[in-house]
Amino acid sequence: MRHIPTYLNIAFLLIFSYSTSYSQNSTTIYLGSGYSNQSFFNFQTNYEVKNETNNNWDLAFSTGSMSSTIRTNDGHGVELYTYSMGDTSDWNNISSSSITMVNSNLYNSDSNWTTGSFSSHQSSGFDLGWGMYSMITHHVTGDSIHLIRTVNGNWKKLWMEKLASGTYFFRHANLDGSNLVTQTISKSNYNTKNFVYYSIDNNAIIDREPNEFDWDITFTKYIAHDMFMPYSVTGVLANNGIEVAQANNISNPYNYSNYTNHTFESIINVIGYDWKTYDFSSGGYQISNDLCYFIKDRNDDIFRLVLEEFEGSSTGKVVFNSSNISSTSLFDKNKIPEINIYPNPVNNILNVLTDFTNEKIKISIFDLTGKMTYENIFTSNGFQNHQIDVSQLQSGSYFVIFDLNDSTVTKKIIIN
């Protein structure tokens, strides 16, 4: 590995300064009256990726290739019960009187995304809560009937019939059997999302999430389980692949950066809801002023998060401060230092800095599905800046791969 010239070090410093110039920014989001919306936030872009209606769905189906998770919109009042008086052969015997024979309400886990309401009572490795997994066919066959109270307050009977070859098959009807609907949802149509959603009352499949790699945390309403009983709260949950550390009793959270003193966890509710408390004397929410969080994203960049304001259910206003305090995505000493890219995120022109002597480099850009969106070969001779027009690519995350004679360098970029 050759010594990096002084002018190249200066260039890297300028790039790094550019990439972190947005630090110490306060962001305001609104979840709406009654926390009716859900907000998705990306720390790399310091941007609210999406703000989406959150009270128009009942079921969320995992799109993961090895997953059978089904979650309910329990934070917005959806109730799920297992019909305990019989199995699927009793589908036609259920009536409105069955409501009086339900067992306890089933809830999603608030510590991970993989345990949904339907699997919260899973009894064995092959019993997934709503069906049995076959080692031979790799299908899940539904063996239970559920009673569900929709987000609109309507009671339905629901039978998750099977999950086979990446497709969910299910049916639902009124308790007396009227208004029968049979439906299928294919994972492959939504494989860039964590979940695809469904409204029972409207028989509507809803594509409402951003791409899974485009957001880090979400502000949403959910059921918490660390109280004396399951309770609906509004707070912050982390995406898959994001790790969070909590720092307590900090005199000045805005200047505190010793993230190595704290343990990063992959559970999704490290931030949660308890950074705020309701003050009955003032009739408003008080924010903890000695608390901050450190977020490690998929690039291993570290961001500091300080919650500043929470207005409550009238507007769902949340104000928070985010800062990039450790960036590894632009300069990684374990990778070849003669290649660097900026800006990241990028809108139109991606700059590639190289410093080689008569070296041919192939550059390829792939989207998250593995589709190649750009390819070119150029020769680097000394310190050069190569520009790539990415303005025609859709917004999202991409991988940039550089192939040299004996090395490969991979970097991730976000296109706005």
Residue 15: C-alpha distances to residues 11, 66, 129, 209, 298 (Å): 6, 40, 51, 32, 20
Average pLDDT over residues 375-386: 81
pLDDT recorded at residue 101: 62
Contact between residue 243 and residue 296 where contact means Cβ atoms under 8 Å apart = yes
Residue 245 has pLDDT above 70, yes or no: yes
* pLDDT attached to residue 327: 72
Residues in CB range of 103: below 8 A, 6 or more apart: 81, 82, 84
| Domain residue limits, the chain | 6-18+333-415, 27-53+212-326, 75-185
Q: What is the mean pLDDT of residues 240-258?
A: 96
Residue 62 has pLDDT above 90, yes or no: yes
Percent of the chain with pLDDT over 90: 61
- CA–CA dist 218, 71 (Å, integer): 16
**Is the pLDDT assigned to residue 120 strictly greater than 70?**
yes
Average pLDDT of the chain is 87
Question: Is the pLDDT reported for residue 85 higher than 80?
Answer: no
pLDDT tens for 283-296 read 899 999 999 999 99
Residues near 246 by Cβ (< 8 Å), separated by ≥ 6?
Answer: 262, 270, 271, 291, 293
pLDDT at residue 173 above 90? yes
pTM: 0.75
| pLDDT tens-digit map of 149-165 | 999 999 999 999 999 99
pLDDT per position as a tens digit, 14-27: 333 333 333 457 89
174-195 pLDDT, tens per residue? Answer: 999 999 999 999 999 999 999 9
Mean pLDDT of 339-344: 83
pLDDT, residue 125, reads: 66
Residue 3 predicted with pLDDT over 60:
no
What pLDDT is attached to residue 6? 37
- Residue 278 scores a pLDDT above 50: yes
CATH fold for the domain made of 6-18+333-415: Immunoglobulin-like (2.60.40)
Report the pLDDT averaged over residues 403-416. Answer: 79
The reported pLDDT for the residue numbered 328 is: 60
CA dihedral sign of residues 142, 241, 352, 21: positive
pLDDT on residue 153: 97
Average pLDDT over residues 254-267: 95
- In the chain, % of residues over pLDDT 70: 89
pLDDT above 90: residue 127: no
Predicted confidence band of residue 86 (pLDDT cuts 50, 70, 90): confident
Q: pLDDT of 70-79, one tens digit each? A: 999 999 999 9
